[in-house]
Amino acid sequence: MKTDEKTEKTMPRENKISPNDGLFGLRDRVLGGYKITKTDAAALVGADLTALSLCANQIRERFCGNAFDMCAIINGKSGGCSEDCKFCAQSKHNRIPCETYALLDENEVVRAALYNYKKGVNRFSIVTAGRTLNAAEVGAVCENYKKIGEACGIFKCASHGLLNFGDFEKLLAAGVKRYHCNLETSRNFFPNVCTTHSYDDKIAAIKAAKKAGMEVCSGGIIGLGESFDDRIDMAFDLRELEIKSVPINVLNPIKGTKAENLPVLSEEEVRRTVAIYRFILPDARLRMAGGRGLFADKGEKIFMSGANAAATGDMLTTGGISIDGDMEIIGRLGFKVGLS
Ligand code: SF4
């Protein structure tokens, strides 16, 4: 996919970003390997959005090519969570009806993994509600991952909260190569999102997973009332942690949660956030996750603003997201679905 060079010639040069080289100059420096500073990133907040998206797309092309990483999840244990994450329907602190069940049995999990594998999805993860899993539950999910491995070749990821080093070693032995643990937001803003565990608890889990030899997928949720500076701070922490898969969720305010009255972000603001993330994390998979269905084009413009991965799935019942629909969009934009 080639971006339109003629478009660039008609773009306004953004003198606000740097008196020396403007937006396109900063892009050129990133293309040459420059790691931008927080001051550079903050200046991008005021850049012309069309030009910013164009530049982010070019950075993505240079560092990641046209590979597109698609993952799917299954909610392997639902509801009744002790934690108080403001946005989450599964928290006991948010008084809304939520389907509650214990760990799904192996047949259901394997069936879902196989379904996604046959549809061409790259990765599959069991996601469980709750602060962590107990020892018996870790044993049970490891058995499920082994069965998935016996059934098909889908790449296995896992998301089970604040596990410890020993748990990560067990997951790795069960064939799980990547662990998901979102930072959610910036260190400063985190207490506005959750008080039952801390930002440092998240960092500790991420570091333990890495120490055990796992790759880590970590990002957050935008639209919780945080500032652009908060989003930029989170991206710099992810860069520091050398995270190469970054889920970006857009808040879909759920009635009954503490986030119910927050406004939905505009697609323009999401595009701007993603484009700035691309400048900060040039070679990462920027993965559009929850909330993509809020937008009529299902994220198409966001995928042309630096994003190159997505959570998909016929089991995500909200927002009209389907695997076939996503495959059509991704192919039409010139991406190629596959692990990279
Ligand atoms: S820990 Fe997970 S399941 Fe529990 S409230 Fe937070 S986001 Fe929801």
Quick check: 250 and 291 in contact, CB under 8 A?
A: yes
- The residue whose CB lies within 8 Å of the most ligand 1 atoms, and thus the one to mutate among 75, 83, 101, 196, is 83
pLDDT at position 317 over 90: no
Model confidence at 320, in pLDDT bands (50, 70, 90)? low
Average pLDDT over residues 135-163: 97
**Ligand 1 midpoint to CA 115 (Å):** 26
pLDDT at 3: 42
Is-above-0.85 flag for pTM? yes
pLDDT at 32: 97
DSSP letter (8 states) at residue 90: T
Query: What percent of the chain lies above the pLDDT cut of 90?
Result: 86
Q: What is d(CA 45, CA 48) in angstroms, rounded to the nearest whole number?
A: 9
Q: What is d(CA 275, CA 78) in angstroms, rounded to the nearest whole number?
A: 33
Q: Mind listing the pLDDT tens digit for each residue in 110-134?
A: 999 999 999 999 999 999 999 999 9
Helix (H, G, I), strand (E, B) or coil at 19: coil
Residue 88 CA: which ligand 1 atom is closest? 8
pLDDT at 101: 92
Q: Mind listing the pLDDT tens digit for each residue in 40-79?
A: 999 999 999 999 999 999 999 999 999 999 999 999 999 9
Q: What is d(CA 191, CA 113) in angstroms, rounded to the nearest whole number?
A: 35
pLDDT at position 230 over 50: yes
pLDDT at 19: 43
Q: Which residue puts its alpha carbon closest to atom 3 of ligand 1?
A: 129
pLDDT at 21: 67
Q: Mind listing the pLDDT tens digit for each residue in 9-48?
A: 545 444 455 544 689 999 999 999 999 999 999 999 999 9
**Ligand 1 midpoint to CA 259 (Å):** 14
pLDDT at 338: 83
pLDDT at 2: 40
**Ligand 1 midpoint to CA 150 (Å):** 30
**Ligand 1 midpoint to CA 81 (Å):** 6
Residue 197 CA: which ligand 1 atom is closest? 1
Quick check: 277 and 268 in contact, CB under 8 A?
A: no
Which residues, judged by CB distance below 6 Å to any ligand atom, belong to the binding site of ligand 1? 81, 83, 85, 88, 90-91, 129-131, 161
pLDDT at 313: 82
Q: Which fold has domain 63-337?
A: TIM Barrel (3.20.20)
